[in-house]
Amino acid sequence: MAKVYVVGAKGRMGKLVCDLVCETEGLELAGGYDVDNIELLDEEAPAVDLVIDFSQPAALPHVVAFVRRTGARLVCGTTGLSQDDLALIRSLGSQTSVVWSSNYSMGVAILRRLSVEAARALRDWDIEIVETHHKMKLDAPSGTAKTIAEQVGDEVGRPIPAHSMRGGTVAGTHEVHFFGTDEEVTFTHRATSRRIFVAGAVECGKRLLTADPGFYAFDDLMF
């Protein structure tokens, strides 16, 4: 039975992660951490097999220190991270198996792949991204929109704009628009529940348990 800590356990995503870990065969929820007790990870938390982190950037140093100390595998879904933060997560791959993704949905992974393929054929078209999330989401554009913009931008050799809308309880919608002369192509992914992201993250965690040390992308583990 693999023991799991959830960081960000009191947040919307964290609560769902805790629930699914408890429901998943072979996994055992060993504890949850959040802003009110994250410091306990530094010294008092005993080693576990896996950490799933859906918290905020401020918690990252504590998570990284714990992983370095114990060798626990890490699934990180925290967004709003700087390039230095991401480099810090990647560096953990020299010691243990780690995955970071801005989105753990299989459908979003397909959206990214289709968008890059379309960009290869439509590189001279105007390309824009629009994402919509609930009004409580802190970062804008979303980490997913930034990732798609970067990958499509790398393909066409120019920056791709990403626009944000916030309102209501929208779990997450991402649209990639390709505008040509007298025609338009749009790819859309619409999430109706955050549980799809949680299911992908937990599945990645299960696969990390048997993966060689290294830094993995979502696609590396799932495709």
**Looking at 10, 15, 134, 137, which residue is catalytic?**
137
**Looking at 133, 146, 174, 189, which residue is catalytic?**
133
Catalytic site residue 146?
Answer: no
Q: Is 98 exposed, middle or buried (0-12, 13-18, 19+ CB in 10 A)?
A: buried
Strand-pairing partners, residue 174, are 131, 189
> CA 13 to CA 11: how far, in whole Å?
6
Catalytic site residue 174?
Answer: no
Phi, psi (deg, nearest 5) at residue 128:
-140, 150
Q: For the chain, what is the largest distance between any 2 Cα atoms, rounded to a whole number of angstroms? A: 63
Cβ atoms of 51 and 66 within 8 Å: the answer is: yes
The set of catalytic residues is 133, 137
